Amino acid sequence: MSAEEAAALIEPGSIIGMSGFTGAGYPKAFPQALASRIAAEHEAGHPFRVSIWTGASTAPELDGALAKVDGMEMRLPFQSDPICREKINTGKMHFADMHLSHVAQHAWFGFLGHLNVAVIEVCAIHEDGSFVPTMAVGNNKTWLDLADKVILEVNNRLPLQLDGMHDIYYGTAIPPQRVPIPLYGPHDRIGVPHLRCDPSKVIAIVETDAPDRNTGFAAPDENSERIAAHIIDFLAHEVKVGRLPKELLPLQSGVGNVANAVLAGLLKGPFDGMTGYTEVLQDGMLDLVRAGKMKSASASAISLSSEALDDFLGNIDYYRERIVLRPQEISNHPEVVRRLGVIGMNSMIEADIYGNINSTHVLGSSMMNGIGGSGDFARNSYLNFFVTPSVAKGGKISCIVPMCSHVDHTEHDTQVIVTEQGLADLRGLSPRQRAQIVIDRCAHPDYRPMLQDYFDRARQSGGQHTPHILGEALAWHDRCLKTGTMRL
Ligand code: 0RQ
């Protein structure tokens, strides 16, 4: 049926689980049709909102369209859409920011409410009723299992050779029935290639041939290249002292330009035979796979620029042998991440001198995108890096602060902080030792004396395990709100 006919089947107040992870594999026609219907209902004076659960971020056709018409009551677990962000930060919709590995299990536990409808993009429907997923697996398996009704959006743009790239593990259970996840190597296949659901639940099948978001990447700037160089030197050092094997351990890389620059650096770096165990595979990791530097990569989604997508589709048989796409509860599973000894690399908004990390909030209160998978990897990785340029907004904001205005990852999880200024290895250090090395190595020279002054004065009074001057600890953020800069 048409997307409009499918949208007409949705009741106000529904909870809808949609496919989609980091701009890949989201339904395109249905959410826009639903947004039009909601706009028309609002016009007629009828209240109409739905709650939307996904894998991670989607695109303007889903988050943007539904946010624009004030159609979302609750959104979870991650978004990166400017309109959606604006609605969240002006209090017009709710957003539950969740660890990506938690989402499926919390839905199964019944913690999130009852899922009414699943809307899932698929590449093909087999005669036996199973589906070939598209560029992302995300929480699709869980939505298909839990929802009362299912709408499938078949995307005819994608080649059928995607069939065989996915590994859908149906062995998860809820406590006390849980058993270990039998995944021992990053490229292991432990499930089946297809999704399935009870056919009697399917209420609509919609067709589209629209592309994924396919956001491009900026060529790495100087800061990103410096951050990448610090990380690569450090990894080489860890290999030299015997703490990492020469092919490293499976790499996880967050989203964005800095993450992409680190992977671009690895392309020229000394490591061969690498593997990836990440949540989203972007251009930089595809380059490593193409060049043969990375022998396999596991992810929950493939999110590429248009140029990289052309390469991927043109050489899909090569990539299908080397790339496996999994549900996000497996790509981000704490048990698996810890067993494999993943090296996690994620960007942040700010770090404080003691190593607490804010990945999500600008000046304490405004949501950027969400925690995503950064916590799944930070807590459980063998080694983790948090990276950021030392300043934001043309130097008006220091990304190294006395105290984070919001904490996503605590000092207990953080191992290595990297800015273009340098790298602070915090492993095994006390808070006071950490503070000095973060100030010396990571802070921008314009802010380094201010941080040193704060730390020195904090060491004059009060508790000396994690010295703070409480009345001043957030003064930098407060000043920025009032004057537009953290500078004095
Ligand atoms: O805003 O473009 O308006 O100037 O934040 O910053 O430097 O372009 O970096 O695109 O890599 O994003 C943490 C947001 C970094 C992202 C974050 C402003 C800055 C700019 C973006 P403008 P950059 P990136 C994998 C793992 C959490 C989730 C995660 C993120 C904008 O990486 O969402 O790790 N991470 N997931 O100006 C005020 C500061 C700021 C600041 C930067 N201190 N104060 N604004 N900005 N620092 C993915 C998934 O889980 C799916």
Query: For 269-288, what is the mean pLDDT?
Result: 96
Complex ipTM > 0.90 = yes
Q: Ligand 1, atom 4: nearest CA belongs to which residue?
A: 393
The answer to whether residue 215 is domain-embedded is no
pTM tops 0.90:
yes
Mutate to test the pocket of ligand 1, among 393, 419, 420 (most ligand atoms within 8 A of CB): 393
| Domain termination site, one of 208, 232, 261 | 208
Beta-bridge partners for 228: none
User: Which one of 279, 350, 411, 420 is the catalytic residue?
Assistant: 279
Expressed in angstroms, the distance from the first to the final Cα of the chain is 61
The boundaries of the domain holding residue 332 are 222-483
Please state, in angstroms and as integers, the Cα–Cα distance from residue 246 to each residue in 207, 232, 269, 290, following that order. Answer: 47, 12, 12, 20
Same domain, 455 and 322: yes
Q: Which amino acid is at 253?
A: S
Asked if 172 and 317 sit in the same domain, the reply is no
CA 440 to chain centre: 30
Rounded Cα distance between 217 and 231, Å, is 20
d(C-alpha 57, C-alpha 97), whole Å:
11
In a domain, 214, yes or no: no
Q: Are 331 and 164 in contact (CB under 8 A)?
A: no
* Residue 226 sits in the same domain as residue 204: no
3-state secondary structure of 280: strand
Known binder of ligand: residue 400? no
- In angstroms and rounded to an integer, the radius of gyration of the C-alpha atoms of the chain is 23
Q: 166 and 296: one domain?
A: no
Helices 283-290 and 257-268, interaxial angle, to 10°? Answer: 20
With a pLDDT cut of 90, the percent of the chain lying above it is: 95
Does a structural domain hold residue 339? yes
- Residues 386 and 422 placed together within one structural domain of the fold: yes
Looking at every residue in the chain, the average pLDDT score rounds to: 97
**Ligand 1 mean position, distance from CA 343 (Å):** 20
In which band, very low, low, confident or very high, does the pLDDT at 259 lie, cut at 50, 70 and 90?
A: confident
| 488 domain-assigned | no
Q: How far is the CA of 301 from the centre of ligand 1 (A)?
A: 20
- The pLDDT > 70 percentage for the chain reads 100
Is residue 79 in some structural domain? yes
Q: Which of 280, 368, 374, 417 maximizes ligand 1 atoms within 8 Å of its Cβ, making it the mutation to test the pocket?
A: 368
Residue 131 confidence (pLDDT): 96
Ligand 1 center from residue 348 Cα (angstroms): 6
Spatial CA neighbour of 214 closest among 123, 309, 137, 320: 309
The confidence score (pLDDT) of residue 261 equals 87
Q: Is the pLDDT of residue 242 over 80?
A: yes
- Has residue 368 been placed in a domain? yes
Considering the domain architecture, whether residues 142 and 245 belong to the same structural domain is answered as no
The domain boundary, picked from 208, 243, 273, lies at 208
User: Do 282 and 164 belong together in one domain?
Assistant: no
Q: What is the pLDDT of residues 432-452, one digit of tens each?
A: 999 999 999 999 999 999 999
In a domain, 213, yes or no: no
3-state SS class at 219: coil
State how far the alpha carbon of 134 is from the alpha carbons of 7, 109, 121, 280, in Å: 21, 27, 7, 14
125 beta partners: 131
- Final residue belonging to a domain, choices 186, 208, 230: 208
The answer to whether the peptide bond before residue 431 is cis (omega within 30 degrees of 0) is no
Q: 276: domain CATH number?
A: 3.40.1080.10
Residues 292 and 178 in one domain: no
Based on the number of CB atoms within 10 Å of its own CB, is 163 exposed (0-12), middle (13-18) or buried (19 or more)? middle
**203 and 112 fall within a common domain:** yes
Please give the average per-residue pLDDT across 269-277, as a whole number. 96
The reported pLDDT for the residue numbered 215 is 81
Same domain flag for 78 and 31: yes
Count how many domains the chain has.
2
Q: If you average pLDDT over residues 295-318, what whole number do you get?
A: 96
Q: Are residues 203 and 302 in the same domain?
A: no
Residue 217 covered by a domain: no
Please check the confidence at residue 253 and state whether its pLDDT lies above 80. yes
Element (H, E) at 205: strand 202-208
pLDDT reading at 409 higher than 80: yes
279 carries an active-site annotation? yes
Cα 51 to Cα 93: distance, rounded to the nearest angstrom: 10
pLDDT at 220 over 90: no
pLDDT in tens, 39-93: 999 999 999 999 999 999 999 999 999 999 999 999 999 999 999 999 999 999 9
Q: What is the arithmetic mean of pLDDT over 201-211? A: 97
Distance 349 CA to ligand 1 centre (A): 6
Residue 214: pLDDT over 90: no
Clarify whether residues 238 and 355 are in a common domain. yes
| Residue 330 CB contacts under 8 Å (≥ 6 apart), including other chains | 167, 169, 181, 183, 190, 300, 336
Task: Flag whether pLDDT at 482 surpasses 80.
Answer: yes
Tens of pLDDT, residue by residue over 334-382, are: 999 999 999 999 999 999 999 999 999 999 999 999 999 999 999 999 9
Phi, psi of 195 (to 5 degrees): -90, 160
